[in-house]
Amino acid sequence: MNSKLITLNNKSIKSVFIVAELSANHNHDLKIAKETIKAAKKAGADAIKLQTYTPDTITIDCDNEYFQLTSGTIWDGQTLYNLYKQAYTPWEWHKELFDTAKNEGLICFSTPFDFSAVDFLEKLDPPCYKIASFEITDIPLIEYIASKGKPIIMSTGISTLADIEKAVNACRKVGNSEIALLKCTSSYPAPIDEANLLTIPNLRETFDIIPGLSDHTMGSSVAIAAVALGAKIVEKHFTLDRNLGGPDSSFSMEPEEFKQMVESIRNVEKALGKINYDLTPKAKNSRVFTRSLFIVEDVKAGETVTENNVRSIRPGYGLHPMYLNEVMGKTFRKNILKGTPLDWRHIE
């Protein structure tokens, strides 16, 4: 497996795995889909993610109340079937999109939404699988996907703690422990104050998995902060241009925005570094400007050390400040000029 992806078995990741989500941002134009993949590469993504379903594999063509979108989403007024008809990625495109990604040096994988999608994707040999937030309760589907023996990345947007536990156990039940859980807020776009990023380290501690973020907020602040909290995977919807329209365009990142996010994430990674108390060469050189004990006025032999003639000041060439009380009351052995670093040989 590509080391830029994830080695979930031993919890080892080279760097944060940054995923550009194509989703519906192809607008049913293969050329746009391919150009979006190329743009994602230029913007610094490690991977492009597709979604593999048709309207008929994800729902049914029915317009009764159960299938109407009326819960305050950006898609209200449509039926599920019609929304997915607009949004799905034609299956006959998949091989060409996988090949385009490979030629660009990008990892390509997908979210299957039913058994037939898994079987179809297996022929393309993706390096991992994604499970969407709304499928995390479909335990038979999760078990089937996990049985393929590839890393599983699951979003947790609509999950209770019990839902997550069942999904993780479903993977492990079929012998697959290569699991990543992405903190996700299933609102489109998602309010920043609902991100609850402190869940990310808790997911890692609770389930012993790779933690990450599937982010639907506007901008990059939440994604960057997530990395500082331990996210090892960041997924963002990606579009060539929000003005192209489409079901997901309004909360997708454009190339320049995505590029800036990637640069910020890479800088955060460098800044996080490792637990280390050793001093760099520059820090060692700067220690000369720390405080130490100095003689701060001219003194004569036999004169008593007082707070008036010895002080703790910068720079750091004299005795350690910890000895200030100990030297008080002692006497100087000889005449010494102001500005001399205090040394034990100066006093008795």
pLDDT tens digit sequence for 271-306: 999 999 998 898 888 889 999 999 999 999 999 999
Lowest mean pLDDT among 79-88, 160-169, 257-266: 79-88
Q: Where are the beta strands (DSSP E) in 59-131?
A: 107-112, 129-131
Lowest mean pLDDT among 98-107, 178-187, 261-270: 178-187
141 pLDDT more than 60: yes
In angstroms, rounded to a whole number, what is the distance separating the alpha carbons of residues 108 and 99?
9
pLDDT band at 158, cuts 50/70/90?
A: confident
Q: What is the structure's pLDDT at 44? A: 97
pLDDT band at 2, cuts 50/70/90?
A: very low
**Dihedral of alpha carbons 325, 330, 333, 338, sign:** positive
247 pLDDT more than 80: no
What does DSSP say about strands 47-52 and 17-21: parallel, antiparallel, or unpaired? Answer: parallel
58 pLDDT more than 70: yes
**Residue 39 CB contacts under 8 Å (≥ 6 apart), including other chains:** 238, 240, 255
Annotated domain spans of the chain: 8-53+88-272, 281-346
The tokens describing 232, both together, are 């090892």
Q: What is the structure's pLDDT at 293? A: 98
Q: What is the structure's pLDDT at 184? A: 93
How many other CB atoms are there within 10 angstroms of residue 98's CB atom? Answer: 22
In angstroms, rounded to a whole number, what is the distance separating the alpha carbons of residues 29 and 27?
5
pLDDT band at 53, cuts 50/70/90?
A: very high
Q: What is the structure's pLDDT at 210? A: 93
Lowest mean pLDDT among 72-76, 157-161, 190-194, 307-311: 72-76
Whole-Å CA distances, 270 to 228, 252, 258, 267, 306? 11, 26, 19, 5, 48
pLDDT band at 10, cuts 50/70/90?
A: very low
In angstroms, rounded to a whole number, what is the distance separating the alpha carbons of residues 343 and 285?
21
Can you give the length of the chain in residues? Answer: 348
3 pLDDT more than 90: no
> Residue 216 gets which letter from DSSP?
-
**Which is nearest to 47 in space by CA: 121, 98, 85, 117?**
98
In angstroms, rounded to a whole number, what is the distance separating the alpha carbons of residues 101 and 47?
8
pTM: 0.86
CA geometry: angle at 97 spanning 74 and 152, to 5°? 70
The tokens describing 256, both together, are 């320049």
From first CA to last CA, the distance across the chain in angstroms is: 70
In angstroms, rounded to a whole number, what is the distance separating the alpha carbons of residues 348 and 344?
8
How many other CB atoms are there within 10 angstroms of residue 338's CB atom? Answer: 11
Q: Where are the alpha helices (DSSP H) in 175-217?
A: 199-207
Place of tokens 């150009």: 35
For domain 8-53+88-272, say whether CATH 3.20.20.70 is its number. Answer: yes
Q: What is the structure's pLDDT at 103? A: 97
Inter-residue contact 131 to 153 (CB < 8 Å): yes
Out of 3.40.50.620, 3.90.1210.10, 1.10.1060.10, 3.40.50.700, the CATH code matching 281-346 is 3.90.1210.10
pLDDT band at 6, cuts 50/70/90?
A: low
Give the orientation angle of helix 161-173 with respect to helix 139-146, to 10 degrees: 40
In angstroms, rounded to a whole number, what is the distance separating the alpha carbons of residues 228 and 171?
28
Q: Which residues of 105-141 are buried (b: 16+ CB within 10 A; e: fewer)?
A: ebbbbbbbbbeebbebbeebebebbbbbbebbebbeb
**Which is nearest to 117 in space by CA: 172, 60, 57?**
57
In angstroms, rounded to a whole number, what is the distance separating the alpha carbons of residues 176 and 133?
19
Q: What's the whole-number mean pLDDT along residues 11-32?
A: 86
**Which is nearest to 337 in space by CA: 305, 296, 304, 307?**
296
Q: What percent of the chain clears pLDDT 90, i.e. is strictly above it?
A: 79
Q: What is the structure's pLDDT at 342? A: 98
333 pLDDT more than 70: yes
Q: What is the structure's pLDDT at 5? A: 44
Q: What's the whole-number mean pLDDT along residues 127-144?
A: 96
